[in-house]
Structure formats: structure tokens, C-alpha cells
Structure 1
Amino acid sequence: MADLQSLEELGGAVESAAPEVHVYVQKLDAQGRAYATGKRKDAVARVWIKPGTGKIMINKKDFTEYFARPVLQMVLRQPLMVADRASQFDIVATVAGGGLSGQAGAVRHGISKALTHYEPDLRAILKKEGFLTRDSRVVERKKFGRAKARKSFQFSKR
């Protein structure tokens, strides 16, 4: 009987324990910048953000010069527009690998992560829009006995 009571007491103690909630904190370096790495396809972007006037530099060039296509510029600005922080941060990014589309996606991913490091409250907004999720789609490898990843050589009966 005493064992049963002690089990009930333990069960009550376990039930009263509140579930653990993860609290996100601000992560800044010595210069007051937030850093994050963004990835997309084969492209990797290293992104630093700090309070400023809204200037975006990619590989030491203005982002309108580096990404000439308006669609890629729009992709880059999406996290800032959703978070309503378009002209509050200066962004410096270095990006390598892949093509322009993959690089733009990598920088967008990096900006989103860096924004959450600078302002943890923005995490819910950016997560809802899907900017914090790494797009895992990559090019499928070529298989032996095939012309490309899936394309076969022309079949010949004779």
C-alpha cells in the first residue's frame, strides 16, 4: 500500500512539471552584428546584418548589380518585407557556389536566419512564411547505364 502511495506521489510530481519551452536569445558578435549561413542547391551564403539604412552588399557589390534580374532582387528582399524591416538593417553577404538562382535563395535563407539571431521575436513570422526552412532539393546524380539522371539511351530492338 505504501508503494502505491509513493507511486501516486511521483506521478503527481511528474504531471505538475511544466513542459520545457525553448527561449530564443539574441546572438551578436563583438561588432554588434548578427551572423548566419544560408544554403540553397549548391550555393552557400555567409550573411552579416547590423542596424543601418537598408544597404545590401553581395560579394562587395550592390545587390542590384550582383543580381540583375528583378525576380532575384525580390527574392532577396522577401524576409525584410515580411518582417517590416526593409530600411533598418545593413546587410553584407558573401556567396559562392551554384548559379544565380541558388545564390539568391541562399542569401534569402541567410538573411532570415540572421534576422532571427538579431531579433528573436521575428522567428514566428519568418517561420510561418517558410524562410527559415532550408530547401533541400538538389540536383539528382547521374546513374551508370543512363544518359542523364533518369533519361535512358535510345532502345534498339535489333
Structure 2
Amino acid sequence: MNKTLNPTFQKKNIGIGRRKEATARVFLIPGNGQLLINKIAGEKYLQFNANYLNKIFAPLKALNLDKQFDIIVRVNGGGLTGQAHAIQLGVARLLCQFDNNNRIILKPIGFLTRDARIKERKKYGLRKARKAPQYSKR
């Protein structure tokens, strides 16, 4: 990467997305539609899964910006599905940060909705979150 693009890697130009245990920090820089996840080409990182790639680029395609930005992501935690959803949310949030009018388009489609379903904690006296030991009457 060249030094002229570094000003875009600032705290104010970051989109954060979360899903389950996955957290994605997304940067958008002017480019031609490349995807870089954890310094690895996006297609290779997502194992060439078209569903994951389409999910990530969906907010850009909704705004007809799919070939105008490169997406650079730092993601950790969770699995590939959770990471793809987290990246999608981060991209959508960052697009709204750039131009507030994008929110009007992305909100009804559901790109700005955080999926709040996370793993339930284990409770004491139980084997898992809700699984109880077998009950014996005698």
C-alpha cells in the first residue's frame, strides 16, 4: 500500500460491525472493488463462497458503488458466516457515515440492523445454558 492512502485509516473513517462473536473493523478507500480481509484476498479468506462475497458487497451494490471502493477489513472472532455479516454491517455503517442520504436507501433493506442474537451464558447447576442434568425420581 502506498502512503497517500493512509489518511483514510483513521478512527473517524472506520465502520464497526458485529455478529455473534465476530467483530469487523472496515475501511473503504477509493479503488476498483477489491476486498482484503486480514491482509488476505477476500475470495481466498472466504473460501470462494459466493454467498459471503455477495453479502459483503450488497450495501455497495444497493447504492451502485460496487466498483468505486476497495474494502479493507480487520476481523476476528466467530466463524465465516458471522464474520461476513459483521463486515456487511460495517460497510453499511461506513457508507452512512460518508453520506447521510445513504441511510434512507440502506435502512429499509435491513443492512443497518444489528443481529443481536448471541450465545446465551451457561448457568450454574446446568450443563449448558438450558440443558439440565437428568432428573431421577428414585
Q: TM-score, normalised by structure 1?
A: 0.75
| Residue matched to 1:152 | 132
- Select the structure of larger CA radius of gyration: 1
**Aligned pair partner of 2:79 in 81, 99, 103:** 99
Q: Is the 8 A contact 2:15 2:25 kept in 1?
A: yes
Could you tell which deviates more after superposition, 48-57 or 73-82?
A: 73-82
C-alpha distance after superposition, 1:115-147 (max 9, x if no partner): 112232211111111111221111001111112
1:88 is displaced (CA, Å) by: 1.1
Residue identity matched to 2:109: E
Contact kept? 2:8, 2:27, Cα under 8 Å? no
Shift in alpha-carbon separation, 1:142–1:32, aligned structure 2, 3 A: closer
Shift of 1:151: 1.5
Q: TM-score, normalised by structure 2?
A: 0.85
Between the aligned partners of 1:51 and 1:104, the Cα distance in structure 2 is 21
Report the residue type matching 1:31 in the other structure: P
Does residue 62 (structure 1) correspond to residue 62 (structure 2)? The answer is no
Amino acid of the structure 2 residue aligned with 1:75: K
Alignment gaps of 5+ in structure 2: none
Does the alignment pair 1:108 with 2:88? yes
User: Where do residues 48-87 of structure 1 align in structure 2 (5 Å cutoff)?
Assistant: 48-68=27-47, 69-87=49-67
Q: Share of identical aligned residues, percent?
A: 42
Where do 5+ consecutive residues of structure 1 fail to align?
1-28
Q: Which runs of 4+ in 1 moved over 4 A?
A: none
Report whether the alignment pairs 1:89 with 2:65.
Answer: no
